[in-house]
Amino acid sequence: MEFYGAPMPAPNPRRVRIFAAEKGITLPEIPLDLRERDHKSPDHMKRNSLGQVPVLELDDGTTITETISICRYLDALHPEPPMFGRTPVEIGVIDMWIRRIEIQLAEPTRMFWRHAHPATAALVEQHVVFGESNRITLARAMDWFDCEIADGRTFIAGERYTMCDIAALTMIDFATLIGLDPVGNRTSVAAWHERASARPSAAA
């Protein structure tokens, strides 16, 4: 099994590293240099026709892309501790939170990065006014998220740290890095972010 990733600040490989650290799985990583466009090389395009990282290549040549999917595969192989839930309700609720984080919070972050950030200007056709509008979209979504987790819960789906916490942590840290302000003065988000960041896995 080979894991093709990229070092910080790439948020997606970091998700898999945090997941592996929480599981106690050793996942030797082959880092690609994204500034050198290694992820668009013919060799890597054979692994992932979208030219993205991370990719998990299995011994039979099967490749799994998309971070959450790689983690689901590893979770099925190494069920403890369960990061996607154990009972049907836990499975449904954790998945709901992964999707809410990705659609409500990560999408405006990605749209800002893609359409308004100078670092991507040479790579894609930007729509800057739209890109900038995602600051407001994200701020509203973070306000909503802050209310949702204000009921005293320790982690996003309850008392245990699960995949939706990893999705939120990596998204918030990346948004902060590119100049957005996802935490701001949102007290429940800030307290949760401190708890998640204090786990040894956050350094992955």
Q: Report the interface residues with a second copy, using CB under 8 A.
A: 49-50, 56, 58, 62, 64-66, 68-70, 72-73, 76-77, 87-89, 91-93, 95-96, 99-100, 103-104, 107, 115, 125, 127, 129-130, 133, 144, 147-148
Closer to a second copy by Cβ: residue 91 or 203: 91
Q: How far is CA 84 from CA 42, 72, 78, 94, 167, in A?
A: 34, 8, 12, 6, 12
Q: Cβ 164 to a second copy, closest distance in Å?
A: 11
Q: Cβ 197 to a second copy, closest distance in Å?
A: 26
Closer to a second copy by Cβ: residue 38 or 107: 107
Q: Cβ 78 to a second copy, closest distance in Å?
A: 9
State the number of CA atoms in the 13 A half-sphere of 23 facing the CB: 24
Q: Cβ 71 to a second copy, closest distance in Å?
A: 9
- Is 29 strand, coil or helix? strand
Residue tagged 């949702």 (tokens): 148
